[in-house]
Chains A and B, each alone.
Chain A
Amino acid sequence: MSGAGQARGAARRALFALIGQSLAGEWRAHPLRLAVALLAIAAGVALGFGVHLVNASALDEFSTAVRQTAGSADLQLRGSGLAINEGFDEAVFDRVLAVPEITAASPVVEIDARVLGVERAGDGAAQSAPTASAKPARTPRLTLTGIDPLRALAVAPALVGSPAEGADLRPLDPAAIYLSAAAQASLAVAPGDHLLLAPPADGEPRRLTVAGAVPGAGAGRSVAVIDIATAQAQFGRLGRLTRIDLRLAPGASARTVARALDLPPDVVAAEPAIDEQRGASLSRAYRVNLNMLALVALLTGGFLVYSVQSLSVRRRLTPFSLLRVLGASQRQIVGVVVAEGALLGIGGAALGLAGGAGMAAAVLDLLGGDLGGGYFSGGAPTLAWSWPAAGVFALLGIGAALAGSLWPARAAARIAPARGLKGIDDDDSSGKRPRAWPGLALLAAGAALSWSPPVAGIALGGYAAIAALLAGGLWLMPALAALLVAPLGRLAARSRSAVLALASARVAHSPARASVMLAGVVSSFSLMVAMAIMVSSFRHSVDDWLGQILPADVYLRTGGDGAIPPAFEAALAAVPGVATVEFARLAPLALDPRRPNVLLIARAMPDARAAAERLPMVDGSVVADVTTAGSTRPPGATPDGAAAPIPIWVTEAMVDLYAFTPGRHLSLPLGPAGAPVAVRVAGVWRDYARQFGAIVIDRERLAAVAGQRAPSTDASIRLAPGASGEAVAAAIRALPGLDGADLALSRDIRALSLRVFDRSFIVTYLLEAVAIAVGLAGVATAFGAEALARAREFGMLRHLGVARGQILAMLALEGALLAGVGVLAGLALGAAIGAVLVFVVNPQSFHWTMQWHVPGGLLAGVALGLVGAAALTAMVAAHHAASMSAVASVRNDI
């Protein structure tokens, strides 16, 4: 080995030895402080990784379901527009059989049926259906998949039922229903039992016999398979198909085949993978939102590492100076501090990954795959561990810890050894005027970024704006501390209170120290403020919206594929206590196979005035009445150009996702067999229930263009003066012909909605609590560390005649003043971040706007609590140092 190589080897060995000695010493001396920093990193990693695992598990479950349903299909034909639910003409199947590139085809009919009851084998009496949920009033639903078993065997064999041993039914038996193990468990039925299912509109319940299982269905997946002929004949789908799964000849192009089929307007050809994409898009914004919050928590952990390491470096001024004097290079000193940060990161990441996996398993069990968000239905998915994701989150944790260590490492390297040995800290910034422009530039960048449009449906600009605002705010902390406390310091200098003068001078004239100590608490408190403002704004908006959207007293919904029989409409209106009833038809509408369906709401909406009265319109979105404004239509906007376009009122999501802007002329597949119908967007309304869009159209106009009046699915009932909602609801329930429909009072819907809202923010509240705890832990460790570093100062003060109680009071006041500065900064910063969440991230992610609302009482309470806790924490953390012998303090290096 060359001389240079030997020197490098020796330097490396020396560095490792230094790192080992330094770390061992730090762990022995301050295990609690390092443990807090480690836990802060672990918390960020755990939250991020946990949220990722929960969502990945749910999506994995969803993808498995899609793959099982599609089997080996290369292409699927499915309904478009309203045909997504009602199905399309089965004559399309005949065209399929004529295309030579198609080697196998399996027609499917899907029906969302209500389970009215169960008859046990050998027992003729029907029992009302058990429910998996805790609410007994809610009728369970079952998605029936009607297949031709012989054709399905060639394309999607997983859907073919297997008769139970001894069952007196064949796979093709029209009365047979095959239930997967999960479906049997949720309905508490076994082969031989009979299910009573609601017919689509009227008539006797359909009685099907549980004939066996669906072995191909994955564990935990609820699947019910019946014969396609039964599905069509018994459930009102004669001549209709929901889907045709196709397998193509090797080398055949899906696009060519689709063209050859010359499909009618209400049928589209799509590759099955598109369903997985749609499933991912369901929860993507929600998922990204939570992951971003977890990253902010990780950022807080990074700031805490910065805080701990900065104080640790200042405390080790003399040892580092000594090492430099003894021959350690600046690079070796940097190496020691960075290695400490890296080890904190590695430890925190390992702990965080374990904690995240545990948290994900618990959340999947308790809240399901969408953390209470309501995006995925079905059972609890199993945890899907991912090594790449674990690697990414581990790197993020280590990165945050390393980033938090870099600045302190730089400070350690800059120690002037000779002066450091005498205890003179040249990095002490007392009296230096902090530079404000980089912080102001970051704030300006944050403001600019908040105007960026979303990238692929994700509010990346908004998240970047939050990071820039946070970084800018923290950068400005020293200047802010100086600005806020300097007047107090000047005032205190004129007073005779030594405690006030010393504490305020310390806070005002050590701005760098203020930013070190406050980094964790400002980032966590501003995050808490931002989240509190966002949640409060959202909740108030939802509360107002519920008041507008639920003007009636009682609501009825058939749900699934059920409908209200026409005879029942008249009976309902005649129930004593009912003043008026408005009927509506709600149906899914497929506009883009890559996106979730939108909801078409057909109800009485004759004109713009009615819309303004009945819908929570977005200010400034209403355009002139379309029936009299046909001349403003741009050329070519409607294909037929003949009839006046029908006004529609769309939700904000339709504007964002489909560019259905107010005044725009377009066509929708609402005519017979999906024929295009000219419509014009007459206004935009606010909707917090359907993130993927809804359209309101006048029911009579729709019936006129569709050529038929589809049955109602919903009814909103207003009570006569003095009538009791409960009594009317009970009378409606007693009416024959609508078993299993959901009936609820508007106040119950409102209360339930707000309960669901609060539940879906459980994770957010958890993040807030973690952030505040991390921030306070940061204050405690920072004060503890600093108090030890200041032991000589306390000793000197006691020599000069300062009592121990005065020192503790001074520390408490310092803590309160620092926390006060942090709280003010956190409030300002949190309000700015909250504005980004309310006005940028939410509209871009979830396509709804909300009114600004600040929970003043809550924030004031938390702010005061934080200042008090910081004062107490500072005093308790410093008690040991302040109680040390004054003699030993001035003599010893701590």
Chain B
Amino acid sequence: MLELDRVTKSYGRRALVRDLDLRIAPGEYVAVMGESGIGKSTLLNMIAGLEPIDAGDIRLDGVSVPTLDEAGRVTLRRERIGFVFQAFHVLPHLTLAQNVALPLLLAGLPAAEREERARELLAAVGLGDRADGWPRELSGGELQRVAIARALVHRPRLLLADEPTGNLDPETGAAMLDLFESRLRESGAAALLVTHSHAAAQRCDRIVTLTRAGLVTA
């Protein structure tokens, strides 16, 4: 489903990753660990077509991401990828339902369908009764639930999560990972979870560690 072949990425003369290979099957939940600055987030961004690569290839469902033009990469992200960020990034001027429905809006779905699916996802993350509320009324944990709902609402093939519990206390973070995993399993999407937390990583099907020498599977 996701294939990385001999991917190389440098910043100036500094090589960040070299000849990186990775395969992720449909529905597989993979944790990526590694020391700070090693390139974990860059790895996610390269997969999403947000960072160009210097060499190699990245294929998502057989589509070579580096060969896509800007419009193709935009469409790829819009249709096949879901993102969860450490800092939530929920828009303050949209209601919770509107925030969740954003990917559906970008996909051009009719309003009624957007509304229905957004409310469904909000209910699934425990915020069904807050669909018409505003982000400023929520705690950090609740905001991250909205972000998870938004990442899943358009039924992506691949979920990229970058330290989703980094801004949460351990208890809330654990609950969040429970929710994340259950929603993920239910959706059937594959996921790549970047984390420093061994507890979070332990929940995944597979753990890979990014080192200077490349990816090491635990």
A binding-site residues for B, Cβ under 8 Å: 422-426, 428, 430-431, 493-496, 498, 501-502, 505-506, 508-510, 792-793, 795-796, 798-804, 885-887, 890-891
Residues of A within 8 A of B42 (CB): 887
- Nearest chain B CB to A864's CB is how many angstroms away? 27
The answer to whether A796 and B93 touch across the interface, beta carbons within 8 angstroms, is no
Known contacts A799-B48, A800-B83; 5 additional CB pairs below 8 A are A423-B87, A430-B136, A502-B94, A510-B93, A802-B106
Residues on A with C-beta less than 8 A from B95 are 431
B196: min CB distance to chain A, Å: 15
**How long is the Cα–Cα vector from A423 to B167 in the complex, in angstroms?**
11
Complex contacts, B87 vs chain A, CB 8 Å: 422-423, 792, 890
Give which listed residue, A506, A800, A886, A890, contacts B103 with CB less than 8 A.
A800
Q: Are A430 and B77 in touch, CB under 8 angstroms?
A: no
Cα distance A886–B70 in the bound complex, in angstroms: 13
- Interface residues in B135-181 by Cβ distance below 8 A to A read 135-136, 140, 150, 167
Given the known interface contacts A430-B136, A802-B106, the answer about A493 and B50 at a Cβ–Cβ threshold of 8 Å is no
Residue numbers in A under 8 Å from B136 (CB-CB): 424-426, 428, 430-431
Q: Which 7 A-B pairs have the closest CB atoms?
A: A801-B78, A431-B134, A796-B89, A509-B93, A801-B77, A494-B111, A430-B92
> Are B110 and A496 in touch, CB under 8 angstroms?
yes
Please give, as numbers and ranges, the residues of chain A lying within 8 Å of B103 by CB-CB distance. Answer: 800-801
What residues of B have a CB within 8 angstroms of the CB of A422 in the complex?
87, 140, 167
Contacting pair A496 B105 (CB below 8 A): yes
Chain B residues within 8 Å of A, Cβ to Cβ: 41-42, 45, 48, 50-51, 70-71, 74-79, 83, 85, 87, 89, 91-95, 98, 102-103, 105-106, 108-111, 133-136, 140, 150, 167
Given contacts A496-B110, A498-B105, A505-B94, contact A803 B89 (CB under 8 A): no
| Contact A799 B77, beta carbon cutoff 8 Å | yes
Instruction: Write the nearest CB–CB distance from A491 to chain B, whole angstroms.
Output: 10
A793 and B91 form a contact (CB under 8 A): yes
Query: Nearest B residue to A494 by beta-carbon distance?
Result: B111
Given contacts A431-B136, A796-B85, contact A801 B111 (CB under 8 A): no
Given the interface pairs A422-B140, A887-B50, A890-B89, the reply to whether A800 lies near B77 with Cβ below 8 Å is yes
CA distance A47 to B79 in the complex (A): 57
Q: With A and B bound together, what is the CA distance between A793 and B85 in angstroms?
A: 12
CA distance A505 to B71 in the complex (A): 25
Are A495's CB and B93's CB within 8 A?
no
Some 16 contacts from A to B, beta carbons below 8 A apart, are A422-B87, A423-B87, A431-B93, A431-B95, A496-B108, A498-B105, A509-B94, A510-B93, A793-B91, A796-B89, A796-B91, A798-B50, A800-B77, A801-B75, A803-B74, A885-B50
> Chain B contacts of A426 at CB under 8 A?
136
Do A495 and B111 touch across chains, with their CB atoms under 8 A apart?
yes
Give the chain B neighbours of A424 by CB distance below 8 A: 136, 140
Known: A493-B111, A799-B77. A425 touches B89 (CB 8 A): no
B70, B92, B108, B167: most-surrounded residue (chain A CB, <10 A): B92
Q: Are B110 and A430 in contact (CB under 8 A)?
A: no
Main secondary structure of the interface of A (DSSP, over half): helix
* Pairwise interchain contact A493-B98, C-beta atoms closer than 8 A: yes
List the B side residues contacting A890 at CB < 8 Å: 85, 87, 89
Within 8 Å by CB of A430, from B71, B74, B93, B109, lies B93
**Which chain B residues border A494 with CB–CB below 8 Å?**
111
Residues of A within 8 A of B140 (CB): 422, 424
Which chain B positions have C-beta within 8 A of A804? 70
CB-CB under 8 A from A803, the residues of chain B are 70-71, 74
Q: What residues on A are CB-neighbors of B92 within 8 Å? A: 425, 428, 430, 510
What are the residues of chain B within 8 A of A796 when measuring CB–CB? 83, 85, 89, 91
Query: Please, how many angstroms separate the alpha-carbon atoms of A796 and B89 in the complex?
Result: 7
**Is A800 touching B93 in the complex (CB atoms < 8 A)?**
no
Q: Which residues from chain B contact A501 at a C-beta distance below 8 Å? A: 105
- Do A793 and B106 have beta carbons less than 8 Å apart? no
For the complex, what is the distance from the CA of A643 to the CA of B51, rounded to whole Å? 103
Does B78 contact A800, Cβ atoms closer than 8 Å? yes
Most A CB within 10 A of own CB, among B41, B51, B94, B103: B94
CA distance A891 to B75 in the complex (A): 22
Assess whether B89 is in contact with A792, with CB atoms less than 8 Å apart. yes
A430 to B95, CA, bound (A): 9
Closest A residue, CB atoms, query B42: A887
- In this complex, the member of B79, B87, B140 whose beta carbon has the largest number of chain A beta carbons within 10 angstroms is B87
- Rounded to whole Å, the gap between the CB of B139 and the closest CB of chain A is 9
Q: Which residues of the other chain, B, contact A430 by a CB distance below 8 angstroms?
A: 92-93, 134-136
Among B45, B75, B93, B98, point to the contact of A887 (Cβ < 8 A). Answer: B45
Chain B residue with Cβ nearest A431: B134
Please name all residues of chain A whose beta carbon is closer than 8 Å to the beta carbon of B70 when the two chains form the complex: 803-804
Contacting residue for A498 out of B106, B133, B150, CB 8 A: B106
A496 to B114, CA, bound (A): 10
Q: How far is the CA of A802 from the CA of B51 in the complex (A)?
A: 16
